[in-house]
Structure 1
């Protein structure tokens, strides 16, 4: 398959999936902005389906997950102690 054919196939794929339309709309929107944003790439990220760098949100969720895992482990340990105490009381 020639390079030209591969490019055409890829272009058709992008059109079929709506990528070309989405990119065209966002670029037209950027063009029509009266006050151009300082970072055009950031503008595109924010306006193209809400894609943004959410590293801090991911880090916060990871931290929350680790804290929750620690709390679960703590509660499981307490539950085992209570069950042992209950079993000892029932034997007496």
Structure 2
């Protein structure tokens, strides 16, 4: 009995969220096709707004390329930050040394 109640609740959920209507429309459109597509799944995915398999593969390749580029740029950024920190430290040391050198002649007087 509980199983039937769960099924009914799920069916109501699908109906209220518009899933049943969307699937019905897509299946009717597939049924009404004079020339049936070679891939029914591809047809359904495309009609529901998803990418086709070639589009999906292209997006996957693009994402992979972008991840590689991101890692390269991140490494370059980290190296630039390290170099900047080194420059700041060397300037700080140079400024400190300059201050010490300026103060030394006064100490002698």
* TM-score > 0.5 by shorter chain: yes
TM-score, reference length from structure 2: 0.63
Pick which of 82-91 and 15-24 moved more: 82-91
CA distance in 2, matches of 1:10, 1:79: 54
Match of 2:67 in 1: 65
2:82 pairs with 77, 80, 83, which one?
A: 80
Change (3 A) 1:9 1:72: closer
Name the structure where helix makes up a greater proportion of residues.
Answer: 2
Root-mean-square deviation over aligned CA pairs: 2.6
Runs of 4+ in 1 over 6 A off after TM superposition: none
Change (3 A) 1:89 1:45: same
Change (3 A) 1:2 1:78: closer
Unpaired runs of 5+ residues, structure 2, are: 99-109
Structure label with greater radius of gyration = 2
- Larger relative contact order, structure 1 or 2 (CA cutoff 8 Å, min sep 6): 1
TM-score, reference length from structure 1: 0.72
Unpaired runs of 5+ residues, structure 1, are: none
Match of 2:106 in 1: none
